[in-house]
Amino acid sequence: MNIRQMIEKREHEFLSPFATKSDESLGRKIQEDPCDIRTIFQRDRDRILHTKAFRRLKHKTQVFISPEGDHYRTRLTHTLEVAQISRTIARALSLNEDLTEAIALGHDLGHTPFGHTGENVLNQLHPNGFRHNEHSLRIVDELETHKGKAGLNLSEEVRDGILHHTGSALPITLEGQIVKIADRIAYINHDIDDSLRAGVLSEEDLPQESILVLGETHGQRIDTLAKDMIENSWEKNRIAQSEEIAAAMQTLRKFMFERVYLHSSAKQEEGKAINLLKALYQYYLAHPKEVPQPYHRSEYSIDDSVCYFIAGMSDRYALNRFSNIFIPRPWNG
């Protein structure tokens, strides 16, 4: 018995009956020989972690566009916080931590430069629309490479969790359902923290009906939300929240949309970002040969190639491309 098989054996001995067992995975689109050391979900996690798309998340906006302060979240730190919260809940429920972590690390690979502003722009410009969760799946299926071949060939459970981390459809695994809720827990609370740091909000602005239920501090709120999920999902074939806690979190989320995400000084540079992305899109439509590989595939239209290339840009790369293309350079003689 090799190390992987011993891990798989322990999963059957110690994990919940509702957990997704590694050796019972639905498998990959292309069959591979199993690893002697890592389970299928551990391999998926490692493949995601080593992608270029994952590394680019460190320079992609969470809420504040290209923040100068060292302590504001980026899309990468958001992803890590989602993974931490998700693993804590999965461990407490005796579910598969490796599957949970793989989904969490991959869920936002398809996010655009300048956060949801960028997503909205591409959704308007592309004839078929654009959604970051679908693009996250496209990245792991087509645009990243593994052993010289297109796509990471991830397990069906990880692919499903990435695709359905947002939207109305539920992931097919409890591990994926954890990430779906943990994503909201993470961004609502760390965006409050960043908004307080930036002076966009004050403690007194926060809706007191939610604060009294969830807690006064960042840590208290996450602790309350995580424990509530654990208590309401214990020995059940579903991941759930209590009505009181879910309502309090939804109130906070609504407040953040009203005060920060849609109407705040954090959005004052949004118009510039919109114009920048529109200019880049039109430029590359007119100059498709300047779009690099791997964004040229036989099944992609020119709009596809341009849209997916721009979606993959970090904030600073998009700013640099705009500057190089549209800003005149001094003549040195």
The gap between the terminal CA atoms of the chain, to the nearest Å, is 72
Query: How many residues comprise the chain?
Result: 333
Position 262 scores a pLDDT of 83
DSSP 114: T
Domain count, the chain: 1
Write out pLDDT tens, residues 111-121: 999 999 999 99
Residue at 11 is within a domain: no
Buried b (16+ CB within 10 A) or exposed e, 184-210: bbbbbbbbbbbbeebebbeeeebeeeb
Residue 321 has pLDDT above 90, yes or no: yes
Residue at 8 is within a domain: no
Residue at 139 is within a domain: yes
Q: Do 248 and 214 meet the contact criterion of CB atoms below 8 Å apart?
A: yes
Domain that holds residue 185: 40-326
Residue at 218 is within a domain: yes
Position 70 scores a pLDDT of 85
CATH number at residue 193: 1.10.3210.10
Position 266 scores a pLDDT of 65
Position 142 scores a pLDDT of 97
Residue at 103 is within a domain: yes
Residue at 104 is within a domain: yes
Residue 88, amino acid: T
Q: How many CB atoms lie within 10 A of CB 296?
A: 15
Write out pLDDT tens, residues 199-223: 999 999 999 999 999 999 999 999 9
**Which range among 8-17, 91-100, 134-143, 264-273 shows the weakest confidence by mean pLDDT?**
264-273
Position 329 scores a pLDDT of 83
Residue at 19 is within a domain: no
**What's the CA gap between 316 and 110, in Å, rounded?**
16
Q: What is the mean pLDDT of the chain?
A: 95
Residue 308 has pLDDT above 90, yes or no: yes
Mean pLDDT of 136-148: 96
Q: How many CB atoms lie within 10 A of CB 30?
A: 8
Write out pLDDT tens, residues 60-88: 998 877 667 789 999 999 999 999 999 99
Residue at 18 is within a domain: no
Give the 3-state secondary structure of 252-292.
HHHHHHHHHHCCCHHHCCHHHHHHHHHHHHHHHHHCHHHCC
Say which residue the tokens 């996450």 belong to.
Answer: 222
Distance from the Cα of residue 202 to its chain's centroid: 27
| Cα-only R_g, the chain | 21
Write out pLDDT tens, residues 172-200: 999 999 999 999 999 999 999 999 999 99
Position 333 scores a pLDDT of 62
Mean pLDDT of 253-271: 85
Mean pLDDT of 265-275: 84
Position 263 scores a pLDDT of 72
Element of type H or E holding 225 = helix 218-233
Q: Given its phi and psi angles, is residue 20 left (phi above 0), alpha (psi -120 to 50 degrees) or beta? A: beta
